[in-house]
Amino acid sequence: MPKFRLIQAFLFLSIYFFLLSIAHSGDLFVYTDDKGRQHFVDSAKKVPEQYREQLKNSPRLPTISKVKPGRDKLYEERVDTNSRVEVFETSWCSICRVLKKELHKANIAFTSYDVETSTRGKNFYRNSKVKAVPITRVDGSTLIYGAAMKKIKAALSER
């Protein structure tokens, strides 16, 4: 019985925090009061009636984002059809992101294939004996599992 209560509490908290995160995303409105102070609110309904005219004349502020500017391009893949290194990964895999970041730091050109969305990635993963990501293929034959930079560099230096 205690195990059931624990699961029930976990589900409740998960749903609560999910709904809470949705409630806190949205637009931002700004108005200036009679004393010259600026006020920022997340709903036009929270602006006092006498200041609502300012909302019509002011440009709309950008939507609030929890992602820091530039972070969305942090792991932008290099696409090099002549690259000796291919990385088979998923978008949600944190180890895959670490591997790609290390490849960028080491200035190693690679081509990345998502095993869930790209045709080449799906085909490779379907035929792979190991069902884990990331998988790195060097020179079309050497397979390296995980974020093993030493093995990748050794395989590149062999040929």
Q: Is residue 134 part of a domain?
A: yes
Provide the terminal-to-terminal Cα distance of the chain, rounded to the nearest Å: 61
Q: Which residue has the tokens 């978008």?
A: 91
Please count the structural domains in the chain: 2
Q: How far apart are CA 140 and CA 83, in angstroms?
A: 10
> Which phi and psi angles does 142 have, rounded to 5°?
-75, 120
Tens digit of each residue's pLDDT, the chain (159 residues)? 577 787 887 777 777 766 655 555 556 677 888 888 888 777 778 888 888 888 766 555 555 555 555 544 443 344 445 678 999 999 899 999 999 999 999 999 899 999 888 888 888 888 888 888 999 999 888 899 998 899 999 988 886
In this structure, the answer to whether residues 80 and 147 fall within a common structural domain is yes
- Model pTM score: 0.49
In this structure, the answer to whether residues 138 and 98 fall within a common structural domain is yes
In this structure, the answer to whether residues 34 and 77 fall within a common structural domain is no
Domain final position from 64, 94, 119? 64
Q: What is the CATH number of the domain that holds 123?
A: 3.40.30.10
In degrees to the nearest 10, what's the CA dihedral of 136, 139, 141, 142?
A: -50
Question: Which domain does 56 fall in, by range?
Answer: 26-64
Q: Is residue 17 part of a domain?
A: no
In this structure, the answer to whether residues 118 and 139 fall within a common structural domain is yes
Counts for the chain of helices (H) and strands (E), in that order: 5, 6
DSSP 84: S
Q: DSSP letters of 48-76?
A: -GGGHHHHHHSPPPPPP-SSPTTGGGTTP
Q: Is residue 103 part of a domain?
A: yes
**Amino acid symbol at 79:** V
Q: Is residue 19 part of a domain?
A: no
Q: Is residue 135 part of a domain?
A: yes
In this structure, the answer to whether residues 50 and 101 fall within a common structural domain is no
In this structure, the answer to whether residues 83 and 58 fall within a common structural domain is no
